[in-house]
Chain A
Amino acid sequence: MSETAGGAQVVATGNGAVAAPTTELHVDGLRVAVEGKPILDGVDLRVPVGEVHVLMGPNGSGKSTLAYSLMGHPKYQVTGGSASFDGQDLLALTPDRRAQLGLFLSFQNPIAIPGVTTVNFLRAALRAQGRELPAREFIARLGDEMSSLRMDASFRGRYINDGFSGGEKKRAEILQLAMLEPRLAILDEPDSGLDVDALRIVAEGVLRVMERSEGRMGVLLITHYYRILENLTPDRVHIMHQGKIVDSGGPELAHVIEREGYDPYITAISPAGPEVSRR
C-alpha cells in the first residue's frame, strides 16, 4: 500500500502479482503506424481503474502515439494487436464513443476552437455524454473547479484554447477532466512547460479528481519529469522505448530513471542507442 500526497489510499500491485480487477484498460501487442511508418511495435499494458500508471521514455519512443491511438485519432493506423476498456473493443469505436465509454485524453497541445466558449464547450461535452447538469448546478460546479485550479472567472467566456498561454491550456485540460470525470484519464505530458506553482496546481487537480472518484478512475500519465510524481504517487511505472514497453515496476523505477536516465535501456536494447534516443 502506498500513500498519495493527498492521503488517499490506492492499491499498489506488486510486481507480477496482479489481481485481475473488473475494469481496466487492456492493451495487447498493439502495433500502430503513422503514414505508413511503424511507431508502436507491440505494446502490452494493463491499467486497472483506481490506479495511477506512469509512462516514461525517451522522446520519440511512442508514448504520445499510444495515447492518440487509444483515443482513436484517424491519423494513427492500428496494424495489429488489441485494445479494450471494460471488456469493450476500443478499436471498433469512434473517438466520441470511446469518450462516452469513459476515456479521456488530456492533450499535450490542445487545439483551439475559435468562437466556442469554454462554458459552451463543456456543456456540449456533458450533453453528448448524456450527463447534462441543470444550468445552475453546472455553473456552480464549474465555478468551484475553476477556483480550485486558480483560473479566473473570465475563462468561462473565453474561446476554448484560443489565445491561451501554455499554462492556461494545461489547466483547461484538467478543468475538463474534473468536469467530465472519466473512468480512464490518459494525460499526455500535463506538466510540460509549467513552472513549479502551476505544476503543483495541475498535479493537485488530478489528485482531487482521483480522490473524488473513490477508485473509479484510472490514470495513465505520460511524463518526462519526476517532479509531478512528488504529488501523484504512481502504482506502476512503465518504460517505453522504440514502440514497446521495455520495463515496468513500482514507484521506485521512476527514481531510477531520475538518477540514471534511459541509457541502460537504450544500450541494452539497441547497440546504436544514443543516436536512436536523440531522434
Chain B
Amino acid sequence: MTVQAHELTKDYKYGFHDVDVSVFRTEKGISPEVVAAISDHKQEPEWMLKFRLKALDHFFKRPMPNWGADLSGIDFDNIYYYIKPVDEMGRSWDDVPDSIRNTFDRLGIPEAERNFLAGVSAQYDSEVVYHSIRADLEKLGVLFSDCDTGLRDHPEIFKRYFGTVIPPNDNKFAALNSAVWSGGSFVYVPKGVRVEVPLQAYFRINSDNMGQFERTLIIADEGSYVHYIEGCTAPTYSNDSLHAAVVEIIAERGAHVRYTTIQNWSDNVYNLVTKRAIAKQDATIEWIDGNLGSKVTMKYPSIYLMGEGAHGEVLSAAFAGTGQHQDAGSKCIHVAPNTTSNVVSRSISKGSGRTSYRGHIKVLPKATNVKANVRCDALLLDEESRSDTYPYMDIENPDVTFGHEATVSKVGEDQIFYLQSRGIDEQQATALIVNGFFEPFVKELPMEYAVELNRLLALSMEGSIG
C-alpha cells in the first residue's frame, strides 16, 4: 500500500474518451423546454415535471454562490444537460455496447464486481447503462437501481423520501440538479437487513461539454446496514464539464449507512455536489469522502442528527494539485439530545493547488448532552501551495462537549532528512509522508480501494518534488 517512486509521474490514466454513440441529447443550454424534453423522454409522471420546472425557476433566481471557490468559468449555455448513451439499460455486461463496455473494463468495474461487490451500477453520461444486484439481496427485498427506475417501479417509497432531505431550493446547484436530474442510484434496505458487502455506483462522463446530474436516494430502514461506494472519472477535454449531483440519505431508527466516495474527475470538471443525510434515533451515518480530481470541488457532506442517540462521522481526504481547488468540508447539525459527531479532515496541497476546509457544527437548543469533535489537518508540499480553514460553530445549548483542532504543516525538512538518513531518496520520502498523512482515511477503505487510492495519489504527485 505504499507509493513507489517510479509511479510518481504525471499521468491521469482515465483521460481517454470513446466516440459518441449517444442515441438522444437535448440541445446545448438550459431552458424550460430542455427540462420538459428530459421529462418527456423519460415518460415521467406529471408531478415530477412540475417538480423539475419549479426547481429550474429556483435555479434561475438564485445568484451564483460567491463565498467559496471561483466558479466564474462555468458557462451554463455551453453545456449539454442530457445525453442518453443507449436505448436500454443492461442487466448483463453483454447487453452494453462494446465501446462503453470497454471503457468500464478499463476502469476495472466488471472485475471489481466479480471480486468483492454485492451490486454495481454504471452510469455513462446521463443514464445508467448497466445495473446488477446479487440475487440473494434482491430476495431479501433490497432495492438497488437507478433513480429513474425507483420513480417508475417504487413510487410509494420514492415519493415519500425524494427531495425531503435536500429540497430543490436548498442551493443553486441542488436546484439545477432537481431540474435536470437523471440516473444515479435508488437504494432501499428493508428493516433489519444487513448488506455486508458493498454496493457500488460508478459515474463516468464521456462527452465533451457535458453536465452530469445524477440523483441518489438511499433509504436504510430500521436496524439495517448498507455500505455504498461511488467512484467517478472523466475524459480530459479542453472545455469544462459540470458535475452537480444530489445525494439524499435517510437512516431510520438504528440503521447504519456508510457512504464512501473516491472522486477522481479529470481536471476540467467542476464538481459541485450536495450531499446530506438524516440520522434518526440511534442511527449512524458515515461519510468517507476522498477528493483527488476535478478542477474545482465544492462539497460538504452533511448529517442532520434528528433522533436521540444518533451518531455521525465524516472522514475526508483531499488532494489539490496545480490548478485545482478542493473546497470541501462537512456539516453536523445536532437537533436531538445525546447525539455525537466526529469529523476528521486531511488535505494536501501541491504546486498552486488549494485546499479549503469549510465546516459547520450546529447544536440546537433542545440538543442536550451533545458530543462533537472536529479535527482538520492540512499538509503543504511546497511554498506555492495553500490551505485555508473556515470553521463555523453555532452552539445554542451549553450542555455540549466540543473539541476543535486544526493544523497546517509543511512537509518538514527534518522529516525528509530523517527518512533520507535511512537511504530513502527525497521523492520516495515525500511519498511516504503523504501516504502516512492520509493513513487515517485510507485505513477506512476496503482493501481494494485503499490500494487504488494510494496509486491515484502517487499519480497526482507528479515527478518533480522538492
Which residues of A approach B to under 8 Å, CB–CB? 71-75, 94-96, 98-100, 103-105, 107, 110-111, 113-116, 120-121, 124-125, 128-129, 159, 176, 180
Contacts and interface: CB of A to CB of B under 8 A. Distances in A.
A99 B422 contact: yes
Interface of B: 2, 412-415, 417-426, 428-429, 432-433, 435-440
Contacts of A71: 417, 421
A73 to B, nearest CB: 5
6 nearest interchain CB pairs? A115-B436, A115-B439, A95-B420, A99-B423, A125-B422, A116-B436
Contact of A100 (B423, B439, B440): B423
Given A115-B436, A115-B439, A73 B417 contact: yes
B433 A113 contact: yes
Contact of B420 (A75, A94, A113, A120): A94
B2 A159 contact: no
Contact of B421 (A104, A120, A124, A159): A104
Contact of B437 (A94, A99, A114): A114
Interface centre among A107, A121, A176 (most CB of B within 10 A): A121
A180 B424 CA distance: 12
13 contacts: A72-B417, A75-B413, A94-B420, A94-B426, A96-B424, A99-B420, A111-B418, A113-B436, A115-B437, A116-B436, A125-B419, A176-B422, A180-B423
Chain A, interface SS category: mixed
Q: Does more than half of chain B's interface fall in helix, strand or loop, or is it mixed?
A: helix
A75 B415 CA distance: 13
B426 A105 contact: no
Contacts of B438: 115
Given A95-B417, A113-B415, A115-B440, A124 B425 contact: no
A96 B426 contact: yes
Nearest to A180: B422
B418 A120 contact: no
A96 B436 contact: no
Nearest to A111: B418
Given A96-B429, A99-B423, A129-B422, 20 more contacts: A74-B413, A74-B417, A75-B413, A96-B422, A103-B421, A104-B421, A107-B418, A111-B412, A111-B417, A113-B418, A113-B419, A113-B433, A113-B436, A114-B437, A115-B440, A121-B432, A124-B2, A128-B422, A129-B423, A159-B436
A103 B2 CA distance: 25
A105 B412 CA distance: 18
A234 to B, nearest CB: 23
A110 B438 CA distance: 21
B420 A96 contact: yes
B421 A105 contact: yes
A217 to B, nearest CB: 16
A243 B428 CA distance: 34
B417 A125 contact: no
Contacts of A121: 419, 422, 432
A116 B422 contact: no
Nearest to A112: B415
B430 to A, nearest CB: 11
A109 B422 CA distance: 15
B417 A116 contact: no
Contact of B415 (A94, A111, A129): A111
Which of A75, A128, A129 has the most CB atoms of chain B within a 10 A radius of its CB? A128
A128 B436 contact: no
Contact of B423 (A72, A96, A120): A96
A124 B420 contact: no
Contacts of B417: 71-74, 95, 111
B421 A114 contact: no
Contacts of A115: 435-440
Most chain B beta-carbon contacts within 10 A, residue among A73, A115, A128: A115
A90 B2 CA distance: 30
A104 B420 CA distance: 10
A125 B436 contact: no
A114 B439 CA distance: 8
Contacts of B422: 96, 99, 104, 121, 124-125, 128-129, 176, 180
Contacts of A180: 422-423
B440 A110 contact: no
A103 B421 CA distance: 8
A128 B428 contact: yes
Contacts of A96: 420-426, 429
Contacts of A111: 412, 414-415, 417-418
Contacts of B425: 94, 96, 128
A121 B144 CA distance: 43
Contacts of B419: 113, 121, 124-125
A105 B432 CA distance: 20
Contacts of B414: 111
Contacts of A159: 436, 439
B432 A116 contact: yes
A159 B440 CA distance: 12
A159 B414 CA distance: 16
